[in-house]
Amino acid sequence: MNREQEIARRRTFAIISHPDAGKTTLTEKLLLFGGAIQTAGAVKSNKIKKSATSDFMEIEKQRGISVATSVMTFDYEGKKINILDTPGHKDFAEDTYRTLTAVDSVILVIDCVKGVEEQTERLMEVCRMRDTPVIIFVNKLDREGRNPFDLLDELEEKLNIRVRPLTWPVNMGSDFKGVYSLNEKKLYFFRVNKTKVEDDVLPIDIDTPLLDEKVGTRDAAQLREDVELIEGVYDTFDIEAYRAGKLAPVFFGSAVNNFGVKELLDGFCQISPEPIARPTDKRVVEPEEKKFSGFVFKIHANLDPRHRDRIAFLRVCSGLFERGKFYHHTRLDKDVRFASPFSFMADAKAVVEEGFPGDVIGLYDTGTFKIGDTLTEGEDLQFAGIPSFSPELFKELINLDPMKSKQLDKGIQQLTDEGVAQLFTLALGNRKIVGTVGELQFEVIQYRLEHEYGAKCRWVPMNTSRACWITSDDKVKLNEFIRLKGNQIGYDKDQNPVFLAESDWMLRMNQENNPEITFHQTSEFK
């Protein structure tokens, strides 16, 4: 296979959902259909349960699971599928947002009983920021869900995207009979708790009496009516609109029952985009370019406390990644090489010799990487679109053991490089302020500082509700502002000044009083 064909057969995507909609179940079923695992139950949920806030071992266990299932790769019908896992817990939302920078498309899972939920909306906003193509899977049709037309309306309204069903259910709940593929004109019959992987399928012209015979006269009439309505109301499926992130095709099924999953996977293989071009600070990088480039979107601590190295997840964007070759680390302006890069199989890691655009490669890292770092064959560029977002909770980190301040410094540096939280150092007194999007991270950091770095800390809540990066063309004015605000100015990991505001109101006041200064909500403002 030549390079173009290798690139063209790759499909790199994430499955996202509000917790409990069925993301883990669907992932597992896709792996089953893809032949990557043999039995159900092999994929563990990476969910951090609510009760885990006080159970650190549970968090550790969950973390371990999430590294094992971070990327799942399998071959299906000639395609090489890379599923990137995302944490479900909302306190780790930023992790999810960053993973979404490394995919070419997503599958969004909706619970047909609950419809669009809070996190569904937030995730969708992130997808829209980059016009990521979205396929929607309406799950749990074996339960009494909402009317499918109402669901579609809700999707359009709340997710702010046009939708187009590609399959259609015959009833729901206890009376659920199957889904009809609008394109293939085939009826897939539903069976509860089916363990086999093949479907019971009937190619059918729905205008023939055969349909009445198979599903009963009432349901046959309903399906005919529904299909007529769909064809009347919705335009024919427009793949270009889908790939531009403007139109979401919708599939129906029941993941736990293996139902509708194969149609979803087949549909996904037909329409989802190949590795796409990606923006950098200098220019757009095309996957077909000869020279290698890629970026780190996730860093994970090694779970084995005897090994301090970490795992950096590199998304290959162009060219060919080769084992043992020197690449240019553009932020540090130095060359680095990797002796044993690895790929992720369902439950094993294997050393890889090479990686094509779309692939995700695991690199052992001893602390050279931060999230967003770029590797190239020499060209000086930085992949864009991996910003830090303004955190929502702020606490000061207090060292409890003066003998261990080195360990604490190193620990908090590495944990924030991993993207667990953001660190802002106050100019005055070198105080360390940690910003997160959820309470849970503070507990994780405290636990990990103690267990991985031997440093004990406590937290002091801060009277800060927002952090804004500040810039100005007027350097004098900027320095003046920084001097005046003293304790409210912190520096992020790249030494950029950040204004720590007590409230939105105080932020607005400061904006109005300092028109020469620009206040940025994310770190990406170049």
Residues that bind ligand GDP (CB under 6 A): 17, 19-25, 45, 47, 88, 139-140, 142-143, 254-257
User: Is 89 annotated in some ligand binding site?
Assistant: yes
Pull the structure tokens for residue 9: 């057969």
Smallest gap from Cβ 24 to ligand GDP, in A, equals 3
Going by C-beta distance under 8 Å and a sequence separation of 6 or more, which residues neighbour residue 312?
A: 296, 298, 299, 362, 363, 364, 365, 369, 373
User: Is 87 annotated in some ligand binding site?
Assistant: yes
Smallest gap from Cβ 140 to ligand GDP, in A, equals 4
Tell me which residue of 96, 119, 101 sits closest to 21, measured CA to CA: 119
User: Is 18 annotated in some ligand binding site?
Assistant: yes
β-pair partners for 76? 79
Smallest gap from Cβ 18 to ligand GDP, in A, equals 7
Give the nearer residue to ligand GDP in terms of CB position, either 24 or 82: 24
3-class DSSP string for 270-286: HHCCCCCCEEECCCEEC
User: Is 24 annotated in some ligand binding site?
Assistant: yes
Smallest gap from Cβ 59 to ligand GDP, in A, equals 16
Smallest gap from Cβ 17 to ligand GDP, in A, equals 5
- If phi over 0 gives left and psi between -120 and 50 gives alpha, with beta otherwise, what is residue 261? alpha
Give the nearer residue to ligand GDP in terms of CB position, either 24 or 441: 24
Smallest gap from Cβ 73 to ligand GDP, in A, equals 19
DSSP H or E segment with residue 398: strand 393-399
* Residue owning tokens 């790759």: 10
User: Is 298 annotated in some ligand binding site?
Assistant: no
User: Is 12 annotated in some ligand binding site?
Assistant: no
Give the nearer residue to ligand GDP in terms of CB position, either 118 or 473: 118
CA distance 360 to 317: 10
Phi, psi of 421 (to 5 degrees): -160, 180
User: Is 236 annotated in some ligand binding site?
Assistant: no
Smallest gap from Cβ 2 to ligand GDP, in A, equals 38
Pull the structure tokens for residue 401: 């053991």
Give the nearer residue to ligand GDP in terms of CB position, either 143 or 431: 143
Give the nearer residue to ligand GDP in terms of CB position, either 139 or 514: 139
Give the nearer residue to ligand GDP in terms of CB position, either 73 or 139: 139
User: Is 522 annotated in some ligand binding site?
Assistant: no
Eight-state DSSP code of residue 477: H
β-pair partners for 369? none
Give the pairing of strands 79-84 and 10-17. Answer: parallel
Give the nearer residue to ligand GDP in terms of CB position, either 259 or 389: 259
User: Is 20 annotated in some ligand binding site?
Assistant: yes
3-class DSSP string for 416-454: HHCCCCEEEEECCCCCEEEEECCHHHHHHHHHHHHHHHC
Q: Residue 111 in 3-state DSSP?
A: strand
Q: Residue 469 in 3-state DSSP?
A: strand
The binding site for GTP comprises 17-24, 85-89, 139-142
